[in-house]
Structure 1
């Protein structure tokens, strides 16, 4: 299925290589069929998306069953863009638009802006109403955050978000998603401690979006996601040359692959873009969403109903409220 560019909605994955962005997409893909439930919403992978993400899920399931995790999902270390597309529509109807998730090697953010692939990353970021910032949780937390700046590069992420917000006045949603967090969210206390770490580790970013000139157009939610539910951090080794290796283990032999909250970024993203469509009365995105939704009130209600499943609880926090994060009311029409 091919859609015109105006029917493609970008969701860009911001974050370092190896943080787990591809695993997040894969776990989100495999879970959404079970969470759309009785709604009239239909989500369909486009092109090679299903095959690529299914391969990643197979690896994650295999790792979950092992006691010691020696292998990992291959990260996007090569300097190229990886796009995964999900068509959105109503059941038994032609899709109305496509969600395109753009993943890339974190090192591309350091490439000169003129290289085609690096420019592709920047274009995707600039055109994204929703940006997902992936956080490598063990690097953030372990050894009192000793490796956080080295691995997560929070100041580089801060500069990227600043650049995006300078380009225009469009409303945006920033989802900060701690990944590989299974060890840290087993208790309410641990979840609260992780949230405090995220706030401290990305304080310049949070301070920037809270500035009076920026705050009215940016919403922000922290959503810890367990992409396996069964693989936990074990230890860190550092070679004499300074190379880091993060080691993981399964909770037990034969543990089930059971991801947690992988649906939450998608629920928040769809609620936000639906509300942009319903509430913004002018501008480029209003016109774009008019084309995409096609005044399809049944689709609006299906998306709103799906978005009602946004969760709250330990570790999940709306760091910065925005009107477009509130229920739209379309689901009750």
Structure 2
């Protein structure tokens, strides 16, 4: 079995588990025309089912959990695994392992974190869009910790021996995807607020090795930012449903997976044995039906007008 590691970065309350839940739940619909099947492994399925139940039963008005403790306030690494295989077959061909690290690792376990990020094919950075966009981005630094995330990349993306994929995924962004002008402002805010990170990734040594994508994800789809209540100098972000009948309706949650698989498929098309991509070459050479199903699934990347490839288009383009 071939296992691919993906690091997830972002504050503890930004919605990383909700993103994975929506990705898994929406995959059933968007991949229905292919032979692909995505199955959570072990405790991952239980955690995702619990979160799905919460998302489907959100009250009409609710407050997001306050972000604190840096990238994550947990004291252990959270691991979510998905098996990707062919529908109707009792065998997993590819395992996707999503890793969510505690914020304390940034200071206390730098060597371990550096090693893990180096081993990961892709990094998924979840961004709280409300903290970024509201009140002129007043709460962006304290909630999203962009400088902390930038430092992680500066310490790990050095002398890369194979290509990498970085996905910036704004979540809680329903309000900013209602028209083209709002979407333009969201993308502009990301480019400006993550300028230091993007400058590092487009440096001469990394420009041809790192693909960077911005792809907004509506993890609920039926809730919209309402207001910010400041309690003891900390923001509480309040969200509301447009009406009592609004149901759980995620949008765009499959896009990070489309880009990830497109990135892997491009490595296969190049037929270059880059580091851990040797396993991908062997797998797809062995199973052409699986390769063709992945290719069919990834074609929809270009049809999503809310996404933007910031750099590395050639690392993602699949013929």
* TM-score, normalised with respect to structure 1: 0.88
Instruction: Measure, in 2, the Cα distance between the counterparts of 1:70 and 1:138.
Output: 12
- Structure 1 counterpart of 2:108: 112
1:272 to 252, 263, 272: 263
Query: Residue 155 in 1 paired to residue 150 in 2?
Result: no
SS of equivalent to 1:13 = strand
- Structure 2 counterpart of 1:288: 279
- Structure 1 counterpart of 2:121: 129
Q: Deviations over 1:219-269 (max 9, x none)?
A: 1110011000111112222234x2222221122112111111011000110
Q: Would you say the 8 A contact 2:221–2:248 is kept in 1? A: yes
2:44 to 18, 40, 49: 49
Q: Deviations over 1:114-143 (max 9, x none)?
A: 6xxx83x44432211111111011111111
Query: Residue 318 in 1 paired to residue 309 in 2?
Result: yes
Query: Residue 193 in 1 paired to residue 188 in 2?
Result: no
- Structure 2 counterpart of 1:19: 14
- Structure 1 counterpart of 2:208: 216
- Structure 2 counterpart of 1:182: 174
Instruction: Measure, in 1, the Cα distance between the counterparts of 2:142 and 2:20.
Output: 24
Instruction: Measure, in 2, the Cα distance between the counterparts of 1:269 and 1:108.
Output: 27
- Structure 2 counterpart of 1:29: 24
Q: Would you say the 8 A contact 2:36–2:294 is kept in 1? A: yes
Sort the Cα spacing of 1:131 and 1:71 in 2 relative to 1 into closer, same or farther, 3 A.
closer
Sort the Cα spacing of 1:71 and 1:293 in 2 relative to 1 into closer, same or farther, 3 A.
same
Instruction: Measure, in 2, the Cα distance between the counterparts of 1:315 and 1:204.
Output: 23
Deviation at 1:152, TM superposition (A): 0.9
Sort the Cα spacing of 1:177 and 1:227 in 2 relative to 1 into closer, same or farther, 3 A.
same
What runs of 5+ residues in structure 1 fail to find an aligned partner? none
Instruction: Measure, in 1, the Cα distance between the counterparts of 2:192 and 2:44.
Output: 36
- The 5 Å alignment of 1:226-305 reads 226-240=218-232, 242-293=233-284, 295-305=286-296
Instruction: Measure, in 1, the Cα distance between the counterparts of 2:305 and 2:296.
Output: 23
Deviation at 1:51, TM superposition (A): 1.6
Q: CA RMSD in A?
A: 2.2
Instruction: Measure, in 2, the Cα distance between the counterparts of 1:149 and 1:251.
Output: 29
Q: Deviations over 1:146-181 (max 9, x none)?
A: 111111111111111222211532101111000100
* TM-score, normalised with respect to structure 2: 0.92
- Structure 2 counterpart of 1:67: 60
Count of residues in Structure 1 that have an aligned counterpart in Structure 2: 315
Q: Would you say the 8 A contact 1:81–1:103 is kept in 2? A: yes
What runs of 5+ residues in structure 2 fail to find an aligned partner? none
Query: Residue 82 in 1 paired to residue 75 in 2?
Result: no
